[in-house]
Structure 1
Amino acid sequence: MNSPATPGRRIGVLLVNLGTPDSPSTPDVRRYLNEFLTDSRVIDMAAAIRYPLFQGIIVPLRAPKSAKIYQQLWDAERGSPLLFHGLDLQARLKEVLGKDYVVAFGMRYQKPSIEKALEELRDAAVDRIIVLPLFPQYASASTGSVQEKVMDIVKDWWIVPNISFISTFADDPGFIGSFAARGKAEMAKHDYDHIVFSYHGIPERHVLKGSFKGYCKLGTCCASYNKNNRYCYRAQCFATSRLLAKELGLRDDQYTVTFQSRLQSRLRDPWLQPYTDEVIKEFPAKGINNVLAFSPAFVADCLETTIEVGEEFKELFEEAGGKHWQLVPSLNSEPYWVDAVAEMIRRN
């Protein structure tokens, strides 16, 4: 059924992803990084330290290097993959949900902004708004930041409609099934020795700060997914991996869960382990020469999937003696993923 519970009223849907620079030029990348890396939920330092450190030192050093990577990623006609995949998802979701829903898309950082997307929904006079941050596993630095931004914007509205958030879909059957379908398509093309589920890393302190009554210990507590660690990012990553492994018919010894994209070298702070780049260099010596890599923390291909996992990790693996490394493409706007998102919206 495509209709909301109350006939004659429309439901607003706000899809949100992280963000992207306006172009791969150094000034635009610097502007994006300045906004992203000074978010207190991303870098949880005192503002008096965070702003001078990142705006004055880290961003100016990082922006030119990041700009070169974005240039590799950028599509000549459509621009940033994170943006055009998001717009594609928005357009196809509109078709699937039908006329009783208004679907808007925004980015937490840069354009199109969350504020503009919310204005679109307000102008459409929707009865209520469902916010879906496109991050499968909840983290304060991603989903939490989106939620904070939405609430900060609507607090100034004179009339605030009913707003609900889909805070995590790490174990959602449609999400798991969609990624498994992507993986099975790749597995049909080649024989693999091992599977890697590589997730974006976060500082260990972020997990501990959000721990429910001290439940999270960064250890075997993540072996089960329950009410005590429902919003623990690490526990969600392991839960997603277990469900994907089951769908793919994998034994425990046939896959490894790892974490990528850490800033530890600059902040000197431990991030979630094991680190992907270190683990994969050890594979060939263990007889693992053919690896299929998933990035289940991302539902759209971007710098962290296409470049980091697809190219940089491939190079590291081959330099260590590995023979074949393959990235499973993200969900982007595949029909089964669009259907899965639509089902999440309807349930909420």
Structure 2
Amino acid sequence: MLASTSAIQTEQPSKKNFTPARPRTGVLLVNLGTPDSPSVPDVRKYLREFLMDGRVIDIPFISRFFLVNFIIAPFRAPKSAEVYRKLWTDKGSPLKIYGYEVASLLQQALGEEYLVSLGMRYQSPSIESALQELKDKGLDNIIVVPLFPQYASATTGSVHDKVMEIVRTWQIIPQINFINSFLQHPKFIETFALLGKKYIAEHPFDHYIFTYHGLPERQIRKGDATNTCLQGNCCGSLHALNQHCYRAQCFETSRLLAAALGITPDKYTVSFQSRLGKDPWIKPYTDDMISELAAKGVKRVLAFSPSFVSDCLETTIEVGEEYKELFEKKGGKHWQLVESLNNHPLWIETLTDIVHRNNVKA
């Protein structure tokens, strides 16, 4: 017995040489955010944080402060709270629910060498808390994945800005890799196309709309170092001069999706929604296009929202309900929204591949 015990003991690693397994790479997933509840105070708090971001409303601070805190938030919060109540589920906001599910599923797919953390650009869980979780593990590098397929300063740029603001205070700054966009990733396109094909198999459609979140034209011009955007057929293709233009990226997303679905150019429209204020936003506007399509006798429309990877206010309510009501009011017969990627298995595969391709330590 003594010999047997001794043999077992000699096979154990010494404490001196033993290094416990730990994740080497952190993955920070970031979405826009959502109020903590559909109550007016929580919605007002969310709107103030969101709209006070200088990359969202890009006007001087004093003007932005008075506009947001004395005009927009006080008067818009009660109306927005009503809409959020329509969206809310027993478990809370769909955007946050799917955010946690995707983070969990991605963690399972990536394995123990990675640590996946979820943050929201506005409200909770905050980017600060998500980064702290990664910092506490002493990771070799962090991959920041804003969950916005197309780059825009007000979305992806704002996430990058916030991450750098936080990380610059750390004593030890790990290798950080920022993902700018993933609109051309084959699996991203395949997932949206697969969701759309389900409805196409059920009903014939006269036309297809790819509607994206809008931006003020001035933000496009600010980022246009080549003086290419918003002129002629500037978005007819995605190339070196316009590759960072949000509008051009949206048109490219639509071309890729249409090709995957077998839709000819005359059968689909690209448009932009969610305007705020009186300044011109990128065109064409979705509500205008709906009126034009109905006037042309289009009766059945399948609508995609490919700038959103999770169901939220702008998809479920704005596109799924408000635009449906407008279309039917104008004479349309059938309006169908294609749901977002949410927790689809192929979407998890997309994120897994994005992480693997961008892991400098792999």
Please state which band the TM-score falls in when normalised by the shorter chain: over 0.9
8 Å contact from structure 1 (residues 292, 328) kept in 2: yes
Runs of 4+ in 1 over 6 A off after TM superposition: none
Q: Secondary structure at the match of 2:182?
A: coil
* 1:259-283 deviation per Cα after TM superposition (whole angstroms, max 9, x unaligned): 00001xxx32000111101111222
Gaps of 5+ in 1: 1-6
1:64 aligns with 2:78: yes
Match of 2:235 in 1: 222
Q: Residue 118 of structure 2 is aligned with which of 105, 118, 141?
A: 105
1:296 aligns with 2:306: yes
Q: Secondary structure at the match of 2:271?
A: strand
1:131 aligns with 2:144: yes
8 Å contact from structure 2 (residues 22, 112) kept in 1: no
8 Å contact from structure 1 (residues 212, 229) kept in 2: no
Q: How many residues align?
A: 338
Task: Tell which structure's C-alpha radius of gyration is larger.
Answer: 2
Hey, what's the Cα distance between the residues in 2 that align with 1:99 and 1:276? 44
Matches within 5 A, 1:149-228: 149-228=162-241
1:321 aligns with 2:331: yes
* 1:72-101 deviation per Cα after TM superposition (whole angstroms, max 9, x unaligned): 00002x100110010000000011111111
Match of 2:24 in 1: 10
Hey, what's the Cα distance between the residues in 1 that align with 2:137 and 2:332? 54
8 Å contact from structure 2 (residues 23, 137) kept in 1: no
Q: Residue 38 of structure 2 is aligned with which of 18, 21, 24?
A: 24
| Closer, same or farther: CA 326–86 of 1 in aligned 2, 3 Å | same
Q: Secondary structure at the match of 2:29?
A: strand
Q: Secondary structure at the match of 2:226?
A: helix
Hey, what's the Cα distance between the residues in 2 that align with 1:57 and 1:201? 21
Hey, what's the Cα distance between the residues in 1 that align with 2:28 and 2:36? 21
Matches within 5 A, 1:193-342: 193-263=206-276, 267-342=277-352
Match of 1:55 in 2: 69
Match of 1:39 in 2: 53
RMSD of aligned Cα (Å): 1.1
One-letter code of the match for 1:202?
L
1:122 aligns with 2:135: yes
Q: Offset at 1:9?
A: 5.8
8 Å contact from structure 1 (residues 195, 255) kept in 2: yes
| Closer, same or farther: CA 311–218 of 1 in aligned 2, 3 Å | farther
Q: Offset at 1:8?
A: 7.3
Hey, what's the Cα distance between the residues in 1 that align with 2:331 and 2:227? 42
Q: Offset at 1:285?
A: 2.3
8 Å contact from structure 1 (residues 282, 320) kept in 2: no
* 1:139-164 deviation per Cα after TM superposition (whole angstroms, max 9, x unaligned): 00000000000000001000000001
8 Å contact from structure 2 (residues 25, 114) kept in 1: yes
Hey, what's the Cα distance between the residues in 2 that align with 1:340 and 1:144? 21
Hey, what's the Cα distance between the residues in 2 that align with 1:276 and 1:88? 31
8 Å contact from structure 2 (residues 251, 270) kept in 1: yes
Hey, what's the Cα distance between the residues in 1 that align with 2:298 and 2:230? 30
Q: Secondary structure at the match of 2:202?
A: coil
Match of 2:16 in 1: none
Matches within 5 A, 1:70-81: 70-76=84-90, 78-81=91-94
Hey, what's the Cα distance between the residues in 2 that align with 1:261 and 1:217? 19
Hey, what's the Cα distance between the residues in 1 that align with 2:146 and 2:306? 15
Hey, what's the Cα distance between the residues in 1 that align with 2:85 and 2:52? 23
Match of 1:86 in 2: 99
Q: Secondary structure at the match of 2:235?
A: helix
* 1:220-257 deviation per Cα after TM superposition (whole angstroms, max 9, x unaligned): 11111112111100000000000000000011001000
Q: TM-score, normalised by structure 2?
A: 0.92
One-letter code of the match for 1:311?
E
Q: Offset at 1:213?
A: 2.1
Q: Secondary structure at the match of 2:234?
A: helix
